[in-house]
Amino acid sequence: MTDATIAHTGLDHRAPFRAATFGDALRSEWAKLRSLRSTFWALAVTVVLGVGLGAVISAAAAHGYARSSASGKLSWDPTSVSLDGMAIASLAIAVLGVLCISSEYSSGMIRTSLIAVPKRGRLLAAKSLVFAAVTFVAGEVTSFAAFFVGQALISGHAPHAALGDPGVARAVVGTGLLLTALAVLSVATGTLLRHPAAGIAAMIAVLFVLPGIAQALPASWQNPVTEFWPTLAGGQLTTVHHSAHTLQPWPGFGVMCLFVAIVYAFAWTLLDRRDA
């Protein structure tokens, strides 16, 4: 029925072609991310949780402010309160990041992808870069929205923050940056572990379980953990008020980035060496 259709694509008539580039890989990964419904759901959850939960937490904290202790009032950080919802929103980004590579493994798509882009470092870089860029945009939008909504709810009940206050703009922008670092970490984790469930479990452990366990440790053990555990150290970028035994914002974020770089390097090496 369609036998004749391909006749004109015979070898003699093939158009000259150019080499595939990193830009082509980027376009491909962008098209991949866009063409799955799960992307929209995960990003919608990120925005809704980030802004919605932040609003609820801000309203509750603002109403409790009058009754809080003197030390509680001293450490009052309206910026950080309004951005609290981002911790849960980051879970949606972590899940989506793990899935954007591990679902290729579970479906077998990774083989199709690696036949199309056999330079594996290029595939991973394109995937990470596209997802990081999407997360950066969604993260900044969410964190600015959460900040403004939160401050509007806090004002009148407790001292609120303005973008121009010292450290505030850095904390709001930093929240999107931390989310972006987390996005790269989750793509790398998905690449390392290849199974969606394992990757998501690992990300939950890194984000919530291990920091939670640290809370139960004696102070002499707890302090270095809260100071240097990558996600907690990175979290310093998102607060204005800093408690004892924490790194400064940018060095803290540096620790997070270093951790991401190490995991990424492992993922890159293993992806390159392992049979797909």
114 vs 152, beta carbon nearer other proteins: 114
Question: Smaller CB distance to other proteins: residue 125 or 169?
Answer: 125
Shortest reach from residue 8's CB to other proteins, in Å: 10
Identify the sign of the CA torsion 88, 209, 203, 172: positive
Distances (CA, A) of 229 to 3, 4, 176: 62, 63, 19
Which of 51, 87, 104, 255 binds other proteins (CB under 8 A)? It is 104
Six token digits for residue 259: 């951790």
**115: which 2 tokens?**
């036949």
Q: Closest CB to other proteins among 27 and 73?
A: 27
> Per-residue x/- marks for other proteins, 5-44, CB under 8 A?
xxx-xxxx-xx-xxxxx--xx-xx-xxx--xxxx------
Is residue 98 close enough to count as binding other proteins by CB under 8 A? Answer: no
276 binds other proteins (CB under 8 A): yes
Q: Which member of 116, 137, 262, 265 binds other proteins (CB under 8 A)?
A: 116
Q: How many CB atoms lie within 10 A of CB 214?
A: 16
Q: What is the nearest approach in angstroms of other proteins to the Cβ of residue 164?
A: 43
Which residues neighbour 275 within 8 Å (Cβ) at sequence distance 6 or greater? none
Rounded to 5, what percent of the chain is helix, strand, coil?
Answer: 80, 0, 20
Q: Can residue 118 be called a binding residue for other proteins (CB under 8 A)?
A: yes
**Nearest CA-CA partner of 82 in 19, 164, 168, 207:** 168
Q: Return the residues of window 59-78 that contact other proteins according to CB under 8 A.
A: none
> Residue 30 or 148: which CB sits closer to other proteins?
30
Note the helical H segments in the chain: 22-34, 37-48, 54-65, 70-74, 78-82, 86-107, 109-116, 120-154, 168-193, 196-204, 210-215, 219-228, 230-235, 249-273
191 binds other proteins (CB under 8 A): no
Q: Looking at residue 167, what DSSP letter applies?
A: T
Q: Does 1 bind other proteins (CB under 8 A)?
A: yes
Which of 52, 68, 103, 242 touches other proteins (CB under 8 A)?
103
Q: Which of 111, 137, 165, 250 binds other proteins (CB under 8 A)?
A: 111
User: Which one of 70, 115, 216, 244 is in contact with other proteins (CB under 8 A)?
Assistant: 115
First to last CA, the chain: 36
* Residue 128 lies near other proteins (rule: CB under 8 A): no
**Is-contact 255 180, C-beta < 8 A?**
no
Which residues sit at the interface with other proteins, rule CB under 8 A? 1-3, 5-7, 9-12, 14-15, 17-21, 24-25, 27-28, 30-32, 35-38, 103-104, 107-119, 273, 275-276
